[in-house]
Amino acid sequence: MDIERARFNMVEQQIRPWDVLDPEVLELLYALKREDFVPPAYRAMAFTDMEIPLAVGDLPTGQAMFSPKVEARLLQELALQRNESVLEVGSGSGYMAALMAHRAGQVVSLEIHPAIAQFAKENLSRAAITNVRIECADGAQIGTPGSVAGDVSTQQGWDAIVLSGSVALMPENILARLRAGGRAIAIVGEAPVMSARLFTRIDGGGSAVARFETVDLFETMAIPLQHFPQLESFHF
């Protein structure tokens, strides 16, 4: 396989048509080797327009990487700055964290599955990315005192929060961790209707009631993050 041709086709045929036009994002997609972050068994599929299963040691985990166009669009919509801090829920292969690390100052990523967390750490180390910290923790426990996720999430307010998976509803305890002007992005809904949604905190950050501007970006699908609340079934 001609890897560079495949990378070019990924960017030009999948990502640009999805309204990813930020030249710095496009340049990063060429520079950061996506194939080095996928499980070895799926390396030949690194540039295909699909979610790639996260198999660790040939064992399936039920988790998957976002498709390239979804990763790129989320990165563009976040509009990260070099002095900003990012909290990610769902490290996966570490590729999304690596992309954000090139745009932000600091990334802390929470991964509930120990083997996946280790896989992400190894990928980031191999890529010589030093401003990402992977924590093996349940992201659903953000804001819960005494938990790893709770301790990490209360260390500071965050400029950006990314949920690398889907949730039925965006939890308020996660939005509460944003600084004034901070952004959170997640794929919200339940199959077959989900959409990527951007939340921007528009109050001063110290008010009793946080206020957010919400924008639906695009429709897509993603595997649900574990332990997050699901919508209650309707009964008629």
CA triplet 52, 30, 56: central angle to 5 degrees? 25
**Assigned domain for 9 exists:** yes
pLDDT of residue 233: 44
**Assigned domain for 235 exists:** no
**Assigned domain for 16 exists:** yes
- Which sign, positive or negative, has the C-alpha torsion 92, 94, 95, 98? positive
Q: For residue 41, how many other CB atoms are within 10 A of its CB?
A: 11
**Assigned domain for 96 exists:** yes
pLDDT of residue 154: 67
**Assigned domain for 229 exists:** no
pTM, two decimals, is 0.94
**Assigned domain for 42 exists:** yes
Give the count of domains, the chain. Answer: 1
Dist. CA 31–CA 85, nearest whole Å: 22
Dist. CA 191–CA 171, nearest whole Å: 18
* Long-range pairs of 179-185 with CB within 8 A, sequence gap ≥ 24: 179/205, 180/204, 180/205, 180/206, 181/205, 182/157, 182/158, 183/78, 183/79, 183/159, 184/160, 185/74, 185/77, 185/78, 185/160, 185/161, 185/217
Pairing of strands 158-167, 178-190: parallel
DSSP lists the bridge partners of residue 92 as none
Q: What is the maximum span of the chain, computed from C-alpha positions, in angstroms? A: 56
* Helix locations, 107-220, DSSP H: 114-126, 148-153, 172-175
Instruction: List the beta strands (DSSP E) in the chain.
Output: 52-56, 59-65, 85-89, 106-111, 132-136, 158-167, 178-190, 193-201, 212-219
Q: For residue 132, how many other CB atoms are within 10 A of its CB?
A: 23
Range of the domain at 27: 3-219
Tens digits of pLDDT across the chain (236 residues): 899 999 999 999 999 999 999 999 999 999 999 999 999 999 999 999 999 999 888 788 999 999 999 999 999 999 999 999 999 999 999 999 999 999 999 999 999 999 999 999 999 999 999 999 999 999 999 988 888 887 786 666 899 999 999 999 999 989 999 999 999 999 999 999 999 999 999 987 655 678 999 999 999 999 999 999 987 643 44
CATH number of the structural domain spanning residue 106: 3.40.50.150
**Assigned domain for 234 exists:** no
3-state secondary structure of 27: helix
- Nearest of 173, 186, 174, 177 to residue 205 by alpha carbon: 177
Dist. CA 84–CA 78, nearest whole Å: 11
**Assigned domain for 227 exists:** no
